[in-house]
Structure 1
């Protein structure tokens, strides 16, 4: 089926108490594995792209992968641009076929962040795509952007309301104690803040820094309105480690397709685990039925 807009999908997730898994694709194999995992579970999925992945492969290649994987699929698939600061890249993605775009101006003061985000709102409206924006500084490393723990700033719920009211977002990314990358200690997630922000904004929250969080943390965050959960670092490790593991166990096997297949299966298994953990199983068809009713 055609790629879908992220806004109605995340609204359905928030209203029905589940979250859509969002994975940062690496290549066509990981893209194909994401969609295959979603199909087996009758679940929606978000294929995300980082700016550096786009720079490496190009807009044309990436959108062709996702469209090819999704065109014969019965489940909803979103192509989303993750953490981007470049307005030219944001518009190029929207024009090329992405169905959701994200501006990350979270390092700027509130008014400057809002002003830049409004410019991206215009781009999203121009191309009819979903939009995510961020308020507050999420610690860790994401796409070569580094935020030290001492520089992280948790999102104020009242500021979040002003921000979301002005932008009509598909997803709202905010700092609630999670971090990009692997956690060095026990993460301290502020569930009260998640709940307060969601009550004030009524905007589906994107939980960044999902790698390494416990099942209990995911469940609590989703129950309080986190409708999109990002997984990137975990995929990077499975992608590399599965390749190395196969070659280590089969040192004389130099048939590339067998190595690639082992990598594909390992990534697909990881995707399936997170999709099910976030409550996405069997949510695809009810969502699509609701779209038809609304049309």
Structure 2
């Protein structure tokens, strides 16, 4: 069942988090819906411009809709992640999206406001929610590459004005996370003082945590033991800190890197252990099972399991 992210955020604020998961393949789409229905947890399916280019916009959206037909008790929304004006226009024109993100965070404040406000006006005419971003995250995700020295935290002094001027529906903030498998170095963790001040300035307003993957070191070691050469100094977000952030207004937690690492580990180990096999269905099935288990655990960690009934 399709549900507006606006309703999800109103229901979950301060109580549980919504997993927003980037998907690229049929296996990921099916496993996500299986997990959501099994856990009875609401979730957001995220489609990036790169995913839309890879499978074509119509194909990737058709896969999501087909999965929804198979898992009718799943409660979900479809979101365009990290779009620019052209991506968003295409998504709005094609329909099927309940939410879009305009990523103008690399612009100065005035241009970010200007671009975001224009998208909000167009999207709201179609009852589509808009996520904006204020502050710049480091790391790499799809075609986004931001050197750590250019990453900066969100300035709480700017959030009220930004939301007031743009009328965006949710706001992604930079508070110590990073995109991609090569997360922030050191142990600074999430900046709860910034989250607290943002919540004080925008009580009840939905905050989004990008770069929410944990980057399990054991997964990386298993990948490397199977022929990979990933760096073992990567560091994701401490799961306990993610859970804690929910109490500070974080309603949407983006996940992408962890599911990619899972794909890599399952397939590397499979072909290492079964070098005589070449059928993609076998490791694909193993990946879906592992993905389902992984997401069920995430839903439980975010305290979202059983919450789908709130939308029936």
CA distance in 2, matches of 1:173, 1:208: 7
1:48–1:82 CA contact under 8 A, matched in 2: yes
* 1:157 to 2:159 alignment: no
**Aligned counterparts of 2:248 and 2:132: Cα–Cα separation in 1:** 19
Cα separation, 1, equivalents of 2:126 and 2:90: 10
Instruction: Report the aligned-residue RMSD.
Output: 1.5
The separation in 1 between residues aligned to 2:68 and 2:169, in whole angstroms, is 21
2:88 counterpart residue number: 90
Tell me which residue corresponds to 1:99.
98
- CA offset at residue 284 of structure 1? 0.8
2:189 is aligned with 1:188: yes
Q: Determine the structure 2 residue equivalent to 1:218.
A: 242
Deviation string 1:43-81 (CA, Å, 9 cap, x unpaired) is: 001111111111111111111111111234213211111
Q: In the aligned structure 1, how far is the partner of 2:109 from the partner of 2:12?
A: 28
**Range 133-142 or range 196-205, more displaced:** 196-205
Q: Check whether the contact 2:80–2:101 (CA below 8 A) recurs between aligned residues.
A: yes
Q: What CA distance in whole angstroms lies between the structure 1 residues aligned with 2:251 and 2:304?
A: 10
- Corresponding residue for 2:146? 147
Residue by residue over 1:249-276, the C-alpha shift from the partner in whole angstroms, topping out at 9 and shown as x without a partner, is 2222333321210111122222222111
The alignment covers a number of residue pairs equal to: 285
CA distance in 2, matches of 1:132, 1:144: 19
Match of 1:44 among 42, 45, 61: 42
Aligned ranges 1:126-141 → 2 under 5 Å: 126-141=125-140
Query: What is residue 168 of structure 1 aligned with on the other side?
Result: 167
Cα distance in 1 for residues equivalent to 2:44 and 2:153: 25
Structure 1 residue 170: Cα displacement: 2.9
Distance 1:187 1:239, change over 3 A: farther
The alpha carbon displacement at 1:187 in A equals 4.0
Q: TM-score, normalised by structure 1?
A: 0.92
Kindly provide the CA deviation profile for residues 171-215 of structure 1, in whole angstroms up to 9, marking residues without a partner as x.
Answer: 210111111123233243110111211221232111011112112
Structure-2 residue corresponding to 1:204? 206
- Name 1:110's counterpart in structure 2: 109
Normalising by structure 2, report the TM-score.
0.87
Distance 1:215 1:37, change over 3 A: same
- SS of 2:125's partner is helix
Query: Alpha-carbon deviation of 1:83?
Result: 1.1
Q: Which runs of 5+ in 1 are unaligned?
A: 290-295
Contact 1:44 1:283 in 2 (8 A): yes
Could you list the runs of 5+ residues in structure 2 that have no partner in the other structure?
A: 214-235
What corresponds to 1:274 in structure 2? 298
